[in-house]
Amino acid sequence: MMVGIDLGTTNSLIAYYTEDGPKIIPNRLGKNLTPSVVSIDENGQIYVGDSAVERGLLYPGSTASVFKRDMGSKKEYSLMEKKFTAEELSSFVLRSLKEDAEHFLGEEVTEAVISVPAYFNDARRKATKRAGQLAGLKVERIISEPTAAAIAYGLYGSDDHARFLVFDLGGGTFDVSVLELFDRILEVRAVAGDNYLGGEDFTNVIEELFFDKHKELDRHSLDEKTLRHIHKQADKCKIGFSDSRVSSMKCKINGEIYDMNIDIATYERECSDLFEKIRKPVKRSLSDAHIKLSDVDKVVLVGGATKSPILRKFAGRLFKMLPDVSVNPDEAVALGAAIQAAMKERRESIKEVILTDVCPFTLGTEVVREWEKGKYEHGIFCPIIERNTVIPTSRTERLYTVNDNQKRLNINVLQGESRIAANNLLLGELEVNIPAKKAGEEAVDVTYTYDINSILEVEVKVVSTGEVINQVFKGTDVDMTDEEIRQRFETLSYLKIHPRDREENKYLLLRGERLYEESLGDERIYIEQALHKYEQALNTYDNGIIDNAKEEFKKFLDELDEF
């Protein structure tokens, strides 16, 4: 069975294809969204999703979130004195989704199409693929999130020539993609974005307003648990604007209640800097696609952050049209990934369509430029395949020697947009021997070939001798071998994924513990009694008693957790 997965910064989803179209697979708590949060306890038990969120409010030092932003980097997260990379933490989320899908479908899930932000570079894409491998999945395709969303919206289903813009603002990343449909080909014309802009930043605006109002609160003197509580309430306040033009926030800190009311006009004004950050990638994508905004036939909104009324209002003003929101913004990418998985399986019910993508970053090499006769500037970036070139593609650049009797050339393979070579990402290098002659008399043809799976082949041909060398680059971190994946999997296997049949019980107990810590006086006594009663029911091992107690305890917690 092949599934589609949206591995998100804030939430992740998994979907599969049915005769009635793509469907989201609910997690072990019956929810479509699984928070991309991981927590580990003192016994090496891993918590993923809602239970990890609750545990993070109690034990922030052993919980990690928003780690997708660090995919492909060497940054490590310390949880219970153990260190993990972002891809290892992501593998726990993927493994949890895989287990949920297997339980729901009643069969083994072995393959997946996983989405990534369009603006992810090679290193980030390869890290995502490794995360899937560590989770026990064969990753058949890494698909860009806007492309997946376009598939979910059925933009490929029309026979008319049309242009679309996909506006994808998730919890932690922002992508904008321009796509064009013609002759049954859905072509990505341009992508742009910001890997450090998302819904979390809009939550932070409310958090800053809260601290501005309550200047007696010193952010730096508050512990991590309290800060997480404030952030959670700020997020609830943000969501409150979906139903009202005025939203409120209330926090209990050191036994005192601190509250704040904010109207939507004030909130919108305070978000003006974020709106400006959004405008830049939109302008850049249209410029790279060589089209005007008036040439766009439809704009679709994707990502949980676009459910915000101020974002939808901003998008309407920006694009001078009402965006299409007919597909749940939280689910569009996962549904599209599931359709792509069905296409990979060549399902007969899927209308055949050719999908193309683009190279998200410029690929090139380091050269020496002669601006005036005898005056050279070293360390300059020479683009060979420019960003937003439709892939697969192959381009050649001829490079000449700059020194007399030069016997070799080093070709640094770089990815990025900076004019200065050192500011770009080094993917690797090749060295080629050349005949020693006067400067400028020897040359090499450097050919870059880039395919749909983000694999780059570099070929260097010495013009005078015909000698050819080539090398395949798979990003800064070369793919792990099967043996390396197996060894790392065994290294991580001492960590125990929580049994799915006990997950909701643990989640409710953690919610109860968190509310107990946030409460005082008689309220604490009531929570303690309710916790004890629920634990007693769990100790009976009687499913009927446990189910009844679960419903009663959940209702009790929901009433307490309203504010």
Backbone phi, then psi, for 473, in 5-degree steps?
-115, 135
Q: Classify residue 378 as exposed, middle or buried by CB count within 10 Å of its CB (0-12, 13-18, 19+).
A: exposed
Backbone phi, then psi, for 181, in 5-degree steps?
-110, 125
Nearest alpha carbon to residue 245 among 259, 264, 260: 264
Indicate left, alpha or beta for 77 from its phi (over 0: left) and psi (-120 to 50: alpha). beta
Instruction: Count H helices and E strands in the chain, helices first.
Output: 14, 28
529's CB contacts (< 8 A; 6+ apart) are none
End-to-end CA distance of the chain: 42
Residue 391 token pair? 């892939």
Largest CA distance in the chain: 90
Tallying the residues shown for the chain, one arrives at 563
Contact 301, 323 (CB under 8 A): yes
Asked whether the bond before 60 is cis by omega within 30 degrees of 0, the reply is: no
Which contiguous run of DSSP H or E holds residue 312?
helix 309-319
- Whole-angstrom distance, CA of residue 58 vs CA of residue 506: 13
C-alpha neighbours within 13 Å on the C-beta side of residue 55: 26
Nearest alpha carbon to residue 485 among 130, 92, 113: 130
Backbone phi, then psi, for 114, in 5-degree steps?
-115, 135
| Helix 224-240, helix 199-213: angle, nearest 10 | 110
Contact 413, 475 (CB under 8 A): no
Contact 218, 227 (CB under 8 A): no
Residues assigned a catalytic role: 6, 68, 145, 168
DSSP state string for 15-33: EEEETTEEEEPP-TTS-S-
Nearest alpha carbon to residue 412 among 398, 434, 428, 396: 428
DSSP state string for 363-383: EEEEEEEEEETTEEEEEEEEE
- Whole-angstrom distance, CA of residue 233 vs CA of residue 253: 12
What residue type is 146 in one-letter code?
Answer: P
